[in-house]
Structure 1
Amino acid sequence: MKLLTAAQTRQADAATLQDEGIRSVALMERAATVFTDWLTARLAPTDAGEILVLCGPGNNGGDGLVAARLLHERGYRVRVGLLPADKHSADFEHNRPRLPAAVPVADWRPGKLPPIEPGTVVIDALFGTGLRRPLEGAAAALVRHLNAARARVVSIDLPSGLFADAPQPKDSPVVEARHTVTFELPKLALLLPQNARSVGRWHVVPVGLSPRFLAEVDADMHLVDAALLAGRLPARPTFAHKGTFGHALLLAGSKGKLGAAVLAARSCLRGGVGLLTVQVPAVGYAVLQTAVPEAMCLVDPEKNHLSELPDLQPYNAVGMGPGIGQDDDTRAALEDLLGSARVPLVLDADALNLLGANRPLLDLLPPDTLLTPHPKEFERLTEPARDDYHRLQLLRDFARQYRCYVVLKGAYSCLAAPDGQLYFNTTGNPGLATGGSGDVLTGLCLALRADKRLAPLDAALLAIYAHGRAADLAAAHTGQAGLIAGDLPQYIGQALQELTTAEEF
Structure 2
Amino acid sequence: MKILSLNQIREADVYTTKYEPIASIDLMERASKAFVDWFCVKFKERKQTIKIFCGLGDNGGDGLAIARMLHNLGYDIAVFVVKYSEKFSENFVINLERLEKQLDVEVLDNEKLILEFNKNDLILDAIFGSGLSRSLEGLTKTIVEQLNRSEAQIISVDMPTGLMADKRNNISDTIIKSTHTIGFQLPKLAFMLPQNAEFVGDWHIVDIGLHQEFIQKSETRYFYSTPNEVERLIKPRKKFSHKGTFGHALLVAGSYGMMGAAVLSARACMRSGVGKLTVHSIPAGLQIMQMLLPEAMYWEALGGKTDSFISTQFTTKDISGQYQAIGIGPGLGVHGKLRESIEQLCEVCTKLNIPMVLDADALNNFSIGKGRDTIKKIPQNSILTPHPKEFQKLINKTWTDDYQKLELLMQFAVNQQVIVCLKGANTAIALPDGTFHFNASGNPGMATAGSGDVLTGMILALLAQGYIPAEAAILGVYQHGLAGDRAAQKRGMINMIASDIVENIRF
Regarding TM over 0.5, the answer is: yes
User: Once the two structures are superposed, what CA deviation does each residue of 1:307-327 show, in whole Å capped at 9, x if it has no partner?
Assistant: 114412111111111000001
Residue number in structure 1 paired with 2:333: 325
1:354 pairs with 2:365: yes
SS of corresponding position for 2:233: coil
TM-superposed CA distance for 1:45, in Å, is 5.5
Residue number in structure 2 paired with 1:344: 355
Structure 1 letter corresponding to 2:33: T
Residue number in structure 2 paired with 1:502: none
User: Once the two structures are superposed, what CA deviation does each residue of 1:70-115 show, in whole Å capped at 9, x if it has no partner?
Assistant: 1222222222211111211111112111113452322222012332
TM-superposed CA distance for 1:415, in Å, is 0.8
TM-superposed CA distance for 1:306, in Å, is 0.8
Structure 1 letter corresponding to 2:211: S
User: Residues 143 and 175 of structure 1 are in contact (CA less than 8 Å); yes or no, is this contact kept in structure 2?
Assistant: yes
1:449 pairs with 2:449: no
| CA spacing shift, 1:226–1:43, aligned 2, 3 Å | closer
User: Residues 78 and 104 of structure 1 are in contact (CA less than 8 Å); yes or no, is this contact kept in structure 2?
Assistant: no
Residue number in structure 1 paired with 2:25: 25
SS of corresponding position for 1:99: helix
CA distance in 2, matches of 1:51, 1:226: 33
The counterpart of 2:312, out of the listed 305, 308, 314, is 308
CA distance in 2, matches of 1:324, 1:45: 54
1:10 pairs with 2:10: yes
Structure 2 letter corresponding to 1:432: M
TM-superposed CA distance for 1:168, in Å, is 1.1
Structure 1 runs of 4+ aligned residues shifted over 4 Å read none
Structure 2 letter corresponding to 1:268: C
Residue number in structure 2 paired with 1:369: 382
User: Once the two structures are superposed, what CA deviation does each residue of 1:322-365 show, in whole Å capped at 9, x if it has no partner?
Assistant: 00000111111111112222311110001111112121122112
How do 1:477-488 and structure 2 match up within 5 A? 477-488=490-501
CA distance in 2, matches of 1:191, 1:370: 21
The alignment covers a number of residue pairs equal to 492
CA distance in 1, matches of 2:296, 2:268: 11
Question: Structure 1: 5+ residue runs without aligned partners?
Answer: 497-505
CA distance in 2, matches of 1:295, 1:367: 28
Residue number in structure 2 paired with 1:263: 264
SS of corresponding position for 1:460: helix
Residue number in structure 2 paired with 1:501: none
CA distance in 2, matches of 1:100, 1:180: 26
| CA spacing shift, 1:34–1:395, aligned 2, 3 Å | same
The counterpart of 1:390, out of the listed 404, 408, 418, is 404
Structure 1 letter corresponding to 2:92: F
Residue number in structure 2 paired with 1:464: 477
How do 1:286-305 and structure 2 match up within 5 A? 286-302=287-303, 303-305=307-309
How do 1:123-134 and structure 2 match up within 5 A? 123-134=124-135
CA distance in 2, matches of 1:447, 1:171: 46
Bigger drift between 299-308 and 139-148 goes to 299-308
TM-superposed CA distance for 1:27, in Å, is 0.7
User: Once the two structures are superposed, what CA deviation does each residue of 1:195-216 show, in whole Å capped at 9, x if it has no partner?
Assistant: 1111111111111111111222
CA distance in 1, matches of 2:251, 2:43: 52
Residue number in structure 2 paired with 1:212: 213
User: Residues 136 and 173 of structure 2 are in contact (CA less than 8 Å); yes or no, is this contact kept in structure 1?
Assistant: yes
CA distance in 2, matches of 1:106, 1:309: 77
1:422 pairs with 2:436: yes
User: Residues 45 and 75 of structure 1 are in contact (CA less than 8 Å); yes or no, is this contact kept in structure 2?
Assistant: no
| CA spacing shift, 1:152–1:231, aligned 2, 3 Å | closer
User: Residues 231 and 475 of structure 2 are in contact (CA less than 8 Å); yes or no, is this contact kept in structure 1?
Assistant: no
Structure 2 letter corresponding to 1:155: S
Residue number in structure 1 paired with 2:452: 438
CA distance in 2, matches of 1:312, 1:59: 62
User: Residues 53 and 64 of structure 1 are in contact (CA less than 8 Å); yes or no, is this contact kept in structure 2?
Assistant: yes
User: Residues 330 and 359 of structure 2 are in contact (CA less than 8 Å); yes or no, is this contact kept in structure 1?
Assistant: yes
Residue number in structure 2 paired with 1:95: 95
CA distance in 2, matches of 1:237, 1:476: 32
User: Residues 47 and 75 of structure 2 are in contact (CA less than 8 Å); yes or no, is this contact kept in structure 1?
Assistant: no
User: Residues 46 and 76 of structure 2 are in contact (CA less than 8 Å); yes or no, is this contact kept in structure 1?
Assistant: no
User: Residues 175 and 198 of structure 1 are in contact (CA less than 8 Å); yes or no, is this contact kept in structure 2?
Assistant: yes
| CA spacing shift, 1:41–1:273, aligned 2, 3 Å | closer
User: Residues 343 and 378 of structure 2 are in contact (CA less than 8 Å); yes or no, is this contact kept in structure 1?
Assistant: no
TM-superposed CA distance for 1:446, in Å, is 0.8
Bigger drift between 248-257 and 467-476 goes to 467-476
TM-superposed CA distance for 1:219, in Å, is 2.1
Q: Give the aligned CA root-mean-square deviation in angstroms.
A: 1.4
User: Residues 285 and 297 of structure 1 are in contact (CA less than 8 Å); yes or no, is this contact kept in structure 2?
Assistant: yes
TM-superposed CA distance for 1:230, in Å, is 4.8
User: Residues 255 and 304 of structure 1 are in contact (CA less than 8 Å); yes or no, is this contact kept in structure 2?
Assistant: yes
TM-score (norm 2): 0.94
TM-superposed CA distance for 1:376, in Å, is 0.6
CA distance in 1, matches of 2:186, 2:61: 20
CA distance in 1, matches of 2:503, 2:77: 50
CA distance in 1, matches of 2:366, 2:121: 52
Residue number in structure 1 paired with 2:65: 66
Question: Structure 2: 5+ residue runs without aligned partners?
Answer: none
Structure 2 letter corresponding to 1:12: A
User: Residues 282 and 304 of structure 1 are in contact (CA less than 8 Å); yes or no, is this contact kept in structure 2?
Assistant: no
Bigger drift between 394-403 and 232-241 goes to 232-241
User: Once the two structures are superposed, what CA deviation does each residue of 1:106-163 show, in whole Å capped at 9, x if it has no partner?
Assistant: 2222012332333321110000111111111111111111111222211101110011
CA distance in 1, matches of 2:217, 2:267: 42
